[in-house]
Amino acid sequence: MDQFAALETFVRVVEAGSLSAAARSLPSSLTSVSRQISELEQHYGTQLLLRTTRRLALTEDGRVLYERAKSILAEFKEIEAALSRRDRQPSGRLRVSVPSLIGRLLIAPLLDEFLQRFPSLSVDLLLVDRPVDMVEEDIHLSLRVGHLVDSQLVARKIANLQMIVCASLAYLERRGTPQSPAELQQHECLVFSSTPGAAVWRFGPDQATECRIRITGRIWANSLDALVTAAKQGAGIVRVPSWQVEADLAEGGLRRILRSHEPAPTPLNLVFQPSRLPSTKTRAFADFLTDRWRKRDPFASGVDHCEDD
């Protein structure tokens, strides 16, 4: 059995939805496709596909093999392309996932310049405020906030984000200014997360002195923009990246509080698919973004706003 060819056929069957459709797209005979799937199942000693008269479905082992085979085949294609002269210039479709706020305000405005520089490229920009499964969702490059737990990920640190806590003057005059993180539990806090519920805010410059405060509030949103708007209207205290509210702090719409308790800056990383050779298109975007933000860091605050006591 040509295992590589069999894996290619298996992936094509899964994506085509049937043996006959895969045979037409390869092209190959239905008999050959069916034989390769049977040989794979015999080789691994497990059933990979559930066959009915109407459809095919993956078994649990089949799904594991599909995800890994798809990644392996893509890596071989990238190696082949990287060694080929025709791939000296980046080409094809690049899939990038970024936090929605950063994507909307900082990434999207750069895409025209990037695509003019690389006319053979196209970009799929996914704005998501959750960790993505880069293999499952076929993401080539992801921008992630925070320390990376998965040691298998290949990452390049690109910037630092400073998380701050702030509120409107009207709110602070009405409810008072908290002097310690623990006092936040007696205040109206505006909760940001991907799903409704409580959140945890970290304080302290290092792990030795760090404290974690469980935050609940009557307003929850999965949009920082919405929470900043509510905070400026006096609805409560919000925790946001400093760059997002720099203009509001300068104009007095918001006041920065608990500054002496702020955590150390949070890293912002470019993350590549694990176990994948970075393609020329992936490296092109990573280098472009790194170069642009090295020249002008959009996350560096240019104004020093003191805490309101």
Model confidence band, residue 145 (pLDDT cutoffs 50, 70, 90): confident
Domain edges within the chain: 3-82, 89-161+266-295, 163-261
Please say whether the beta carbons of 12 and 25 come within 8 A.
yes
By mean pLDDT, which of 82-91, 134-143, 161-170 is the weakest?
Answer: 82-91
Q: Once rounded to an integer, what is the mean pLDDT over residues 172-200?
A: 90
- Second CATH level (architecture) for the domain 89-161+266-295: 3-Layer(aba) Sandwich (3.40)
User: Each residue of 269-292: pLDDT tens digit?
Assistant: 999 876 555 678 888 999 999 999
- HSE of 142, CA atoms in CB hemisphere, 13 A: 22
Model confidence band, residue 53 (pLDDT cutoffs 50, 70, 90): low
Q: Once rounded to an integer, what is the mean pLDDT over residues 209-236?
A: 91
Whether residue 261 is predicted with pLDDT greater than 50 in this model: the reply is: yes
- HSE of 299, CA atoms in CB hemisphere, 13 A: 21
Does this model's pTM top 0.75?
no
Q: Once rounded to an integer, what is the mean pLDDT over residues 210-239?
A: 92
The amino acid that residue 172 corresponds to is: L
Per-residue confidence (pLDDT) for residue 89, from 0 to 100: 77
Model confidence band, residue 180 (pLDDT cutoffs 50, 70, 90): very high
Whether residue 294 is predicted with pLDDT greater than 90 in this model: the reply is: no
Portion of the chain with pLDDT greater than 70, in percent: 89
Per-residue confidence (pLDDT) for residue 301, from 0 to 100: 61
Please say whether the beta carbons of 165 and 213 come within 8 A.
no
User: Each residue of 21-45: pLDDT tens digit?
Assistant: 888 877 788 888 888 888 888 888 8
Per-residue confidence (pLDDT) for residue 241, from 0 to 100: 93
Q: Look-up: residue for tokens 């076929």?
A: 138
- Second CATH level (architecture) for the domain 163-261: 3-Layer(aba) Sandwich (3.40)
Q: Once rounded to an integer, what is the mean pLDDT over residues 53-81?
A: 80
Return the HEC string of the chain: CCHHHHHHHHHHHHHHCCHHHHHHHCCCCHHHHHHHHHHHHHHHCCCCEEECCCCEEECHHHHHHHHHHHHHHHHHHHHHHHCCHHHCCCCEEEEEEECHHHHHHHHHHHHHHHHHHCCCEEEEEEECCCCCCCCCCCCCEEEEECCCCCCCCEEEEEEEECEEEEECHHHHHHHCCCCCHHHHHHCCEEEECCCCCCEEEEECCCCCCCEEEEECCCEEECCHHHHHHHHHCCCCEEEEEHHHHHHHHHHCCCEEECHHHCCCCEEEEEEECCCCCCCHHHHHHHHHHHHHHHHCCCCCCCCCCCCCC
Per-residue confidence (pLDDT) for residue 309, from 0 to 100: 45
Q: Which CATH number applies to 3-82: 1.10.10.10, 3.50.50.60, 3.30.930.10, 3.40.50.2300?
A: 1.10.10.10
**Distance of alpha carbon 240 from alpha carbon 84, whole angstroms:** 46
Per-residue confidence (pLDDT) for residue 303, from 0 to 100: 47
Per-residue confidence (pLDDT) for residue 24, from 0 to 100: 82
Please say whether the beta carbons of 142 and 154 come within 8 A.
no
Per the prediction, the chain carries an average pLDDT of 85
Give which of 177, 203, 183, 189 is closest to 231, Cα–Cα: 189
Model confidence band, residue 191 (pLDDT cutoffs 50, 70, 90): very high
Portion of the chain with pLDDT greater than 90, in percent: 39
Q: Which two tokens stand for residue 269?
A: 């990383």
Beta strands at 92-98 and 121-127: parallel, antiparallel or unpaired: parallel
Per-residue confidence (pLDDT) for residue 275, from 0 to 100: 57
Q: What are the C-alpha distances in Å from 168 to residues 51, 126, 235, 238?
A: 61, 32, 8, 10
Who contacts 185 (Cβ-Cβ below 8 Å, separation ≥6)?
A: 213, 214, 215
Do 89-161+266-295 and 163-261 come out as alike in CATH topology?
yes
Who contacts 109 (Cβ-Cβ below 8 Å, separation ≥6)?
A: none
